[in-house]
């Protein structure tokens, strides 16, 4: 019996907050190859990139029409809202919301599913550049105020850092939702 397994044969819980998701099993790899992943294929579809700009413009209009909200606050709220939605969609939720793939992608978040995990594809470059450009625009329109800059940079880093190749399949153990690891 190895040091990492207990009497029940399960892996002992690590005290580390960070852990790497293990590689896919042969069964998962074959399940992933059978059907296209509709959860991530849309990012390469025609017009899919435009929706990000439409969403940002709609958020800016929404926050801009609220009485008493300055332009600086409006841009910061737009940045925070886009970053929160992007993080939730691409990095927090794991798996596929469809039942036809037999759980082949249950261990992967959407960012890891895009282009079968390949790094630096056109879709991933675009999805990495949008938060950076939005940060630059929001920083410009907040007139480089230190408070707004700090809020905007923290929101942007929270989305850009998980997209880096060094963090591929890396998880924060504090938020682990896998019942086998509890």
- pLDDT tier at 21, thresholds 50, 70, 90: confident
Give this prediction's pTM: 0.80
Please tell me which residue, 27 or 157, carries the higher pLDDT value.
157
What residues does each domain of the chain span? 49-181
Place of tokens 């190895």: 2
Lowest mean pLDDT among 9-13, 18-22, 133-137, 150-154: 9-13
Return the H-helix or E-strand segment holding 20.
strand 18-20
Residue-wise DSSP of 27-44: HHHHHHHHS--HHHHGGG
> Residue 105 and residue 31: Cα distance in Å, rounded?
9
The three-class DSSP label of residue 172 is strand
Distance from chain centroid for Cα 152: 17
> Residue 122 and residue 134: Cα distance in Å, rounded?
18
| Chain segment 84-115, per-residue pLDDT in tens | 999 999 999 888 877 666 677 788 888 988 98
Of the candidates 118, 119, 120, 112, which has an alpha carbon nearest to the alpha carbon of residue 93? Answer: 112
Return the H-helix or E-strand segment holding 138.
helix 122-141
Burial class (CB in 10 A: 0-12, 13-18, 19+), 62: middle
């Amino acid at each position: 019996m190895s040091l990492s397994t207990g009497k029940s044969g399960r892996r002992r819980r690590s005290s580390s907050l960070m852990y790497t998701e293990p590689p896919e099993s042969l069964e998962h790899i074959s399940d992933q190859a059978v059907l296209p992943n509709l959860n991530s294929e849309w990012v390469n579809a025609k017009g899919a990139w435009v929706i990000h700009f439409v969403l940002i413009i709609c958020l800016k209009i929404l926050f801009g029409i609220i009485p008493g909200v300055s332009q600086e606050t409006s841009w910061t709220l737009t940045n925070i809202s886009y970053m929160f939605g992007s993080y939730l969609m691409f990095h927090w939720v794991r798996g596929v919301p469809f039942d036809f793939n037999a759980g082949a992608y249950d261990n992967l978040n959407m960012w890891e599913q895009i282009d079968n995990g390949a790094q630096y594809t056109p879709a991933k470059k675009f999805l990495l550049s949008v938060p950076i450009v939005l940060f630059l625009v929001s920083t410009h329109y907040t007139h480089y105020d230190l408070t707004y800059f700090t809020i905007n940079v923290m929101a942007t880093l929270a989305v850009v850092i998980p997209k880096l190749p060094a963090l591929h399949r890396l998880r924060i153990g504090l938020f682990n939702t896998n019942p086998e690891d509890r």
